[in-house]
Chain A
Amino acid sequence: MKNRIISLFKKRIVLLDGALGTELHKLGMPDGVSPELWCLENPNVLSDLHLKYINSGSDIIYTATFGANRLKLSLFNVKKDVSDINKRLALIAKEVSSGCLVAGDIGPLGKFIKPFGELDFEEAVDIFKEQIKGLLLGGVDLFVIETMMDIQEARAALLAVKELTDKFVITTMTFQNYGKTISGNDPISSLITLQSLGADAFGLNCSTGPQDMVKIIKLLKPYSNIPLVAKPNAGIPTVLNNKTTFNMSPIRFSYFGEKLVLAGANFIGGCCGTTPEHIALLNKKIKNLKPIQPKNKKFSILTSPKKFVEFKDNFIVIGEKINPTNRKELQEDLKKEKFTTLRYLAKEQEKHKASLLDVNVSFLGVKEKELIKKAISVLVNITELPLVIDSSDLNTIKEALRFYPARALVNSVSLNKNTEELLSIIKKYGAMFIILPISKKIPKDFKEKKDIIKEIIKIAKKFGFTKEDFIIDGLALTISSNENSAIEALKVIKWANKVLKAHTTIGLSNISFGLPKRDIINRVFLGLAKKAGLSSAICNPKDNKPIKNKIVEDLLFAKKGALEKFIKYYSKKSTKTKKVSVSIEDRLFNAILNGEKDIIVELLDEALLKFKAQDILNSYLIPAIIKVGDLFEKKEYFLPQLILSAETLKKAIEHLKPHFEKENIDIKKGKILLATVEGDVHDIGKNIVGLLLKNYGFEVIDLGKDVKSKKIISAIKKYLPDVVGLSALMTTTMLNMKKVIELSKRHKLNPKFILGGAVVNEPFATSLGASYAKDAVSAVKAIENLVKK
């Protein structure tokens, strides 16, 4: 049967059926019922609909089992017979099929699966298996996994099919008009992940009309080794006379059918809103068109649920830092199953432009198999980078590959008694792997490494792997124990690159172990390895910029006396201070302008040798913050820049404070009372105003948030402020501003009020006799004016 489907799509476009759900509604299925149970009660309606699609030319019809899984049926009080329901619905389709192929339809479970949801991954696989067994008993010819919103669910369903049968299986996901699934999965990563896992065809259904699908099919075609599927809705739903309709006519739909073929779709049908008429016209339009066959092009692509990384001409940096060896903090965290350090290391490496993250959680006293799944759960939720599963334990790799919701790289396969078993696991889950040239003993030179690599490739080929599926590690060992280590590793890289035309990698930092100035050695070695054709490195992403250095090159090439020369040179080398030519006045001004908090104190100390504190403040710091305010008002600066400058000034004023006291200077311009009114817990806006006011020399008394009106009144009595600033973010709490102002009048207190906050506007403030400020800078200006009055 599988061969029949293959020969069918090689000859022509395979026509799928159209919508079942929307058509069943038209045929009398009421809302709120289980479509599966309703179909069993009305088998003739379903048979007729199947027949209509067959008569329209469909080569494949889908069983009405979209929601026939344990979870969805339980919503209709079906506790057992799930398998039987699937079998009976498959039989209804089979009875009328007369030569047309019947696909067992598998829809989503309605729950998100770990690591993205609550449902356990193995439980999801079991639920799918229960449905699949029933469909097999009903005699389906192939399977279709459809409308998947999340890659992990698609993987669970695909694995369930593959573990029960070798029948042809189509997997389609549902991408929104912005080109991603609801879960953020992008089409190419999804294709690569599922294609590697053994899907026989991949594509899209539902969510969008055919126009949007044309774009995605075009995008997928260059990466696809399997036929592509498009089952669009009849356009985007529109509302007419209070009723929603899928407005694309059968003629227009069939026009896009042609476009889909030209973009590279091999299986085409219709989803929500399409009818037998849509399919019949589509058939007419596309039946004589020649399909574009999938190219059997090989790729070296790794994926995460949201991103793919291809080994091509680009250099790939594999972040090495998630490894507990010599990282005590990570070890302590992992022991307690805390993942704070792991998160930090992941984000830090991502920030420094790592392309992949190596994940190793192995050390004494932990259950590696369980821990790696937990680490994967954390990582896939915080980073988009594809992961490299780094372990020497076969079961850990197996568990990790089964669970990782994408296509991983395994680090690594070496030559030992487990090589075949490990390769069979990697094959099953469609991963890539690193070949590490190690057997029972460490190879002493290039020749021994080459022999091991060749042997591993020979075994890999038996499993159907090609050179695009693996990456060869040059095996860098420290030059402190073997002075020829760099030379031998470079030879492997050169050979793998030129002769095998395979991708290569290296554990970069191993080369410098035990030596000083490791970063310099690593970076020089990286430059040499890149020259030899290195395509990736497992390294600290901060060390990924190659440099040239004659002394280190001599060391790496084991030149006589190079080590002594290296140690002598680097122990002597001292850092030279740069000569600064910009004046201290300009540097002070710029430090405020650019928010350089870290250097302001140092600059002030230098300036105090030349100027009085008051002159520094009035001549350089205040003009700089005024300039910042101007830039903010013109929108040339945005809020974080304003705050950074304000914080720098705050730090400067704090540092100058003792000098003001010495110079007997009072810089206070006035007293301001600030509060977020009762019932409101938002206060960041008010705090920004407070910070700026302090910068401008005001004394600020901040009462905090959710402050009762009475407390504000007591504070006015106590502090006698020049101005009271009130803040509120909600329409429901801004009325408390009115309460405060009225209460202050009743107590015969007459401070000036200024109001602000997201919902407050000028008319509201004016109606209460208060001033208004739209943002922090205008608040400061308004308060300066109020104090002057």
Chain B
Amino acid sequence: MLRFFDSIHIDIPYQDIYKRLGYREGVTKIEKEDNEFKNYILDGLQFIDLKAVALRIPIKKINIDKVYFKGNLIIKSKLLVSLLSGCVEMLCIATTSGKKIIEEIGKLEKKDFARAVVYDALASEMADFCFDWVIGVFLQELKRENKELTKKRISCGYSDFSIKYQKKFYKILNLKKLGISITKDYMLVPEKSAIAVLGIKEK
């Protein structure tokens, strides 16, 4: 069953946004708590529209380089085999920071580039933390089923886990509903949208 998350709550990851922008603790000479760029982050939040979808897919069989899932999905990848070894299900998650922030960045690049750069970092970090949030929800629920998640998550395009599978996940996760489209080169649009998979193990 697909689970859509429309209202996702994460604290603004200031630390990570600053780090992405090159801030170094004790070296960068700007007041971290009170500077105009912190206001940019707060302003940018209004354009962030975090959404996510997740799906648990039971694993039928794993061999040396392929994973067979319920519903005839077969993925050939040694990296995925190694991630899912010992798992009973795969958890697929997609997240997006939404279209509005990307449009706003596009507009700002022409008139206020510094703001655009901050918005870009904000959107990236929010989408990344969104994964952690969805994982947190599943961790809580899986505990009750005596199951747990693998520590690692991977995405299509890593090592031999071909980017082409992104198209399959796009369909399975019904990402159109999140306002995401996919290019012929398997890139998700808008930017700051991503898919990742984890394994579900029995304890």
Contact = CB atoms under 8 A, between A and B. Distances in A.
Interface of A: 21-22, 25, 31-32, 66-67, 75, 110, 112, 115-118, 147, 149, 174, 176, 180, 182-184, 206-207, 237, 242-245, 272, 305-306, 343-344, 347, 350-351, 381-382, 595, 631-632, 634-641, 643-644, 646-647, 678-682, 684, 687-688, 691, 706, 730-733, 775
B101 to A, nearest CB: 12
Interface stretch (B5-13, B66-74, B91-99): B5-13
B60 interface: no
A215 to B, nearest CB: 19
Q: Which range contains the number of B residues in contact with the other chain?
A: 35 or more
Contacts of B148: 237, 244
Contacts of B22: 632, 635, 637-639, 775
Contacts of A680: 185, 187
B157 A732 contact: yes
Interface string B161-203: 0010000000000000000000101110101000000000111
Nearest to A637: B28
B114 A115 contact: no
14 contacts: A22-B146, A115-B7, A149-B137, A184-B11, A244-B148, A343-B46, A381-B7, A595-B114, A635-B27, A638-B23, A640-B118, A643-B117, A644-B114, A775-B22
Given A635-B27, A637-B28, A679-B185, A118 B109 contact: no
B14 interface: no
A640 B6 CA distance: 31
B114 A118 contact: no
A182 B27 contact: no
Given A25-B146, A66-B144, A639 B117 contact: yes
A641 B30 CA distance: 9
B152 interface: no
Given A679-B186, A681-B191, 20 more contacts: A21-B146, A22-B146, A112-B5, A115-B7, A182-B133, A182-B140, A244-B148, A245-B203, A272-B143, A350-B42, A632-B22, A635-B27, A636-B28, A637-B28, A637-B29, A639-B117, A641-B37, A679-B185, A687-B109, A733-B187
Contacts of A681: 183, 187, 189, 191
Interface string B24-59: 100111100000010110110110000000000000
A593 to B, nearest CB: 12
Contact of B136 (A75, A115, A176, A245): A176
B7 A684 contact: no
A480 B71 CA distance: 76
The 10 closest A-B pairs by CB, nearest first: A679-B185, A244-B203, A643-B114, A638-B22, A644-B114, A635-B24, A116-B7, A639-B21, A638-B23, A184-B9
Contact of B113 (A176, A641, A647): A647
B116 interface: yes
B120 interface: yes
A728 to B, nearest CB: 11
Nearest to B192: A682
Contacts of A640: 21, 37, 40, 114, 117-118
A344 B39 CA distance: 13
A207 B137 CA distance: 11
Given A110-B141, A112-B5, A639-B21, A684 B27 contact: no
A693 B37 CA distance: 24
Contacts of B121: 639
B102 to A, nearest CB: 9
Interface of B: 1, 4-7, 9-11, 18, 21-24, 27-30, 37, 39-40, 42-43, 45-46, 86, 88, 105, 109, 112-114, 116-118, 120-121, 133, 136-137, 140-141, 143-148, 157-158, 163, 183, 185-187, 189, 191, 201-203
A244 B148 CA distance: 8
Contacts of A66: 144
A682 B86 CA distance: 36
Contacts of A207: 140
Contacts of B203: 237, 243-245
Contacts of B29: 631, 636-637
Given A66-B144, A638-B28, A684-B105, A31 B202 contact: yes
B39 A634 contact: no
Nearest to A729: B191
Nearest to B41: A640
A116 B21 contact: no
Given A640-B114, A647-B113, A344 B7 contact: no
Contacts of A632: 22
A386 to B, nearest CB: 16
Given A638-B23, A680-B187, A684-B117, A149 B140 contact: yes
A272 B137 CA distance: 16
Nearest to A245: B203
A344 B136 CA distance: 31
Contacts of A176: 136
A687 B30 contact: no
A381 B86 CA distance: 39
For B11, B28, B46, B114, the residue with the greatest tally of chain A CB atoms inside 10 Å of its CB is B114
A634 B28 CA distance: 8
Nearest to B156: A732
B93 to A, nearest CB: 14
Contacts of A347: 42-43, 45-46
Given A242-B86, A347-B45, A635-B22, A731 B157 contact: yes
For A237, A636, A638, A688, the residue with the greatest tally of chain B CB atoms inside 10 Å of its CB is A638
A182 B136 contact: yes
A25 B202 CA distance: 11
A636 B27 contact: yes
A638 B45 contact: no
B11 A682 contact: no
A635 B9 contact: no
Nearest to B137: A182
A16 B1 CA distance: 35
B7 A174 contact: no
Contacts of A350: 42
A682 B116 CA distance: 13
A646 B112 CA distance: 11
Contacts of A75: 1
Contacts of B18: 638
B7 A117 contact: yes
B42 A643 contact: no
B9 A116 contact: yes
B5 A117 contact: yes
Contacts of B145: 31-32
Contacts of B186: 679, 732
A706 B183 contact: yes
A383 to B, nearest CB: 9
Contacts of B114: 595, 640-641, 643-644, 647
Contacts of B157: 730-732
Contacts of B5: 112, 117
A228 B116 CA distance: 47
Contacts of A31: 88, 145-147, 202
B194 to A, nearest CB: 11
